[in-house]
Amino acid sequence: MKRKTILICLIALLAIMPMGMAQADGHCEFADYTITIGGLAPLSAPGAVAGGVAMDWAFNQAADDINADCGVQIDGVNYMLDVVTGDSEGSPERGQAVTERLIQEDGVDAMVGVYHSAVGLATMGMLEANAIPTVFSEPWNDNVSANGILEYDGAPPRFADGIDHIFRISPASSMVGSVVVDWLLSLGVEDVVLIVENTDYGQPAAADEAERFEAAGATVTKIDVELGTEDFVPILSRIQARAEAPDVIRILVTGETSFNLTQQMSELGIAPSEDTICVTNQIAFQSDQYWATVPDGNYCAFNRVGIIPSLFSEAAAELNGKYEEAWGDLIPSFAMASYDAVYIVKDAMERAGSYDDAAAIVGAIEAVDIELSQGRYYFAYGAHNPDLPEGTPEFMWHQWPDPIVTVMQYYEPGQSGLEAAVVYPEVYQTHGTSYIVPGTTP
């Protein structure tokens, strides 16, 4: 009799499970529905594949961590979270096609990611049209966030349904440019060479920096290059042939292309040198990759976006540890941002009490106030606070205002990115100097 009762109970339990909490994972019980977030990252050439792979890792790591903590909890129900990464290949048209697929076929509830600005700009319209709450974690083009109010002469936002679904937690180019330019001007540079990739990231960033330099009276020479180019010697020889060496060569080029450029510049003795400061791409912070491919790149400075290693919170250090375990290198800022982006969406869905009410989720993201690996996230301007004060740039709309932008500099060959000196802004300086002259130690 007892055995029969147990059997009936078991059958009844099995019958009930599909109707409610069907999935169980350790200590948590999950609802049938799995919340799907679309991730967009370049996983194939010509995109910045190394960046895309790091972002993909971060999306999945965030999903794993969230699911290990009982997923997205909405009204007392746990929902498993899944991130489906689409390969943008760094190309706008491919990015659009993949976004379309993520929205139409995978039925994503929200989107995160995007590395290349061109992809971000190309997919924004689709994301708005399909009302997909989106947190971009790496595109820098100013218009990625400013688009919410640009060309709109009424009350923002300007979209048909009255909602701007796009948020950004990476810095705008102008935010990065202003720090680097301020630093270089403080060092007294007057003759600047900008080597710029021919993309929606490079060109606007160069235009912004050139404007700032010229406003301060410096002369600027801009040289465009195509991503994927390997041999830069002819154009570097042209720089070398100038009567006067430039004061600085600033590289606004991403990925391995920047490594080739920096190394060839160093090999030819152009920069870093006594006369010329070398400022390379932020990817130089990935010290293993940097020293493997730029062995002569000592004393090059680079802009670093994201929290500086000495200020790593416990969450940041833990995430960095996981990344190092997976890839054997320091975690790049865009991987941290991608990880945080998933958490921001999760947090917003929980506070909105819905995974599919786009308006409620957008409202919740606007009101976000959460401490994650890169610091405290909030959005100063959006529908909740639509009036940008006079002088506030338009890209501050739906833009996380506090990404930390610093300038770091290596001063020993093979040095870890964690040990590189922070030279600017002064408040973050780690070695008491704003520039380490080649051949010296701080």
Partner 1 sequence: MVIQDTLFVLWLMVAGPLWAAVGLFLLPNVNRGRKNEDLIPATTLKIAGVIGGFALGPVGLGLFYFEPTLIRRTTLTIGVVLTVFVTSQVMVRVVDPHFPSALWLLLAGPLWAALAAYFIPRHYRDEEADDQNVLTAAALGGFAIGPLIFGLMWKTTPKINRDWMIILGSLGAWQIYTLFAIQNPTNPCVQAPFSVTYLTQQTANGVVIGCIYSLMAVGLTLIYSVQGIVSFAHGQLYMVGGYFSFYFLLHAGNLLSELTGTEVQVNPIWGIPVAAAIVFLMGAVFERFFLKPMHEGLIERVSEYAILITFGFGFVIEYTTLAVAGPFPQRTDRFIDIRRFTLQRTQITDDFAFGPINIIGDRAFAMVVGIILIFALLYFLQRTWTGRALRATSQDRQAAAVTGINPTNMNTLSFGMGSMLAAMSGAALIPIFAWVPWVGAEMVGRSYVIVVLGGLGSVPGALVGGIVVGIVEALGAGCHPDPSRGAAYKEAFALVIFALVLLLKPTGLFGREQL
Q: What residues line the site for partner 1 (CB under 8 A)?
A: 44-46, 49-50, 52-53, 198, 221-226, 228-235, 237-238, 240-241, 256, 259-260, 263-264, 267-269, 286, 288-289, 292-293, 295-296, 327, 329
**By three-state DSSP, how is residue 14 classified?**
helix
Cβ of residue 218: shortest distance to partner 1, in angstroms?
16
Q: Determine phi and psi for 407, rounding to 5 degrees.
A: -115, 125
Look at the alpha carbons of 14, 19, 21, 24 in this order and tell me if their dihedral is positive or negative: positive
Cβ of residue 38: shortest distance to partner 1, in angstroms?
21
d(CA 173, CA 94) in angstroms, rounded, equals 23
Cβ of residue 277: shortest distance to partner 1, in angstroms?
19
Residues in the chain: 442
Cβ of residue 255: shortest distance to partner 1, in angstroms?
8
Residue placing its CB nearer to partner 1 in the complex, 268 or 367: 268
The residue with tokens 């865009």 is: 334
Cβ of residue 87: shortest distance to partner 1, in angstroms?
12
Residue placing its CB nearer to partner 1 in the complex, 87 or 247: 87
Residue placing its CB nearer to partner 1 in the complex, 20 or 295: 295
CA–CA distance from 83 to each of 39, 49, 50, 80, 132 (Å)? 6, 18, 19, 10, 14
Residue placing its CB nearer to partner 1 in the complex, 7 or 326: 326
Quote the Cα angle for 99-329-170, to 5°: 40
Residue placing its CB nearer to partner 1 in the complex, 231 or 318: 231
Residue placing its CB nearer to partner 1 in the complex, 240 or 313: 240
User: What does the block give as tokens for 352?
Assistant: 């909105």
Look at the alpha carbons of 11, 17, 23, 24 in this order and tell me if their dihedral is positive or negative: negative
d(CA 194, CA 190) in angstroms, rounded, equals 13
Cβ of residue 215: shortest distance to partner 1, in angstroms?
20
Cβ of residue 212: shortest distance to partner 1, in angstroms?
18
Ramachandran class of 213: left when φ > 0, alpha when ψ lies in -120 to 50, beta otherwise: alpha
Instruction: Decide if 345 contacts 37 (C-beta within 8 A).
Output: yes
Residue placing its CB nearer to partner 1 in the complex, 226 or 318: 226
